[in-house]
Amino acid sequence: MPAKSYLEALLQGRCPRCRKGYVFKYPARNLSRFTIINERCQHCDVRLEPEPGFYQGAMYVSYGFTVAMLVTMSIIYYLFFPDRSEWFYIGTFIALMVILIPVNYRSSRILYLYLFGGLKYQGEK
């Protein structure tokens, strides 16, 4: 089986070192446990939290995702719904952010691990 590409492994939430094990223990659709990260990769046994408090920096990535989503939605609303009240915009923005909490949380942590975790792809052993 050929190795997964960097982008494919990142989007699937795979380990940055082996690109086979998963970063999160449960799928995102499990809303009571979507935040639980594997302590170690099931395949290559690398620690997925390089140091205590490592994922606090993922807050900045999450903030960037949120701002990008709100700017995108603002442009779409401006172009396609120009005559709506401000409560329509506020309500839909809040609903969108609440619905996307699991996606935003997981993607920000995975991207932060890939960019700043110091784990490089090692290939087949």
pLDDT digits (tens, 9 = 90+) for 24-78: 999 888 889 999 999 999 989 999 988 888 999 999 999 999 999 999 999 999 8
CA contacts within 13 A on the Cβ side of 118: 6
Task: Give the residue numbers spanning the domain of 13.
Answer: 6-116
* Cα angle 60-117-47, degrees, rounded to a multiple of 5: 125
Residue 87 lies in a domain: yes
23 part of a folded domain: yes
Burial of 24 (0-12, 13-18, 19+ CB in 10 A): buried
Identify the three-state secondary structure at position 7. Answer: helix
123 located within any domain = no
**pLDDT at residue number 122:** 84
Say if residue 124's pLDDT is above 80.
no
Q: What are phi and psi of 100, to 5 degrees?
A: -95, 10
pLDDT in the model for residue 64: 95
Q: How many domains does the chain have?
A: 1
pTM recorded for the entire structure: 0.85
Q: 68 in a domain, yes or no?
A: yes
Query: In the predicted model, what is the mean pLDDT of the chain?
Result: 90
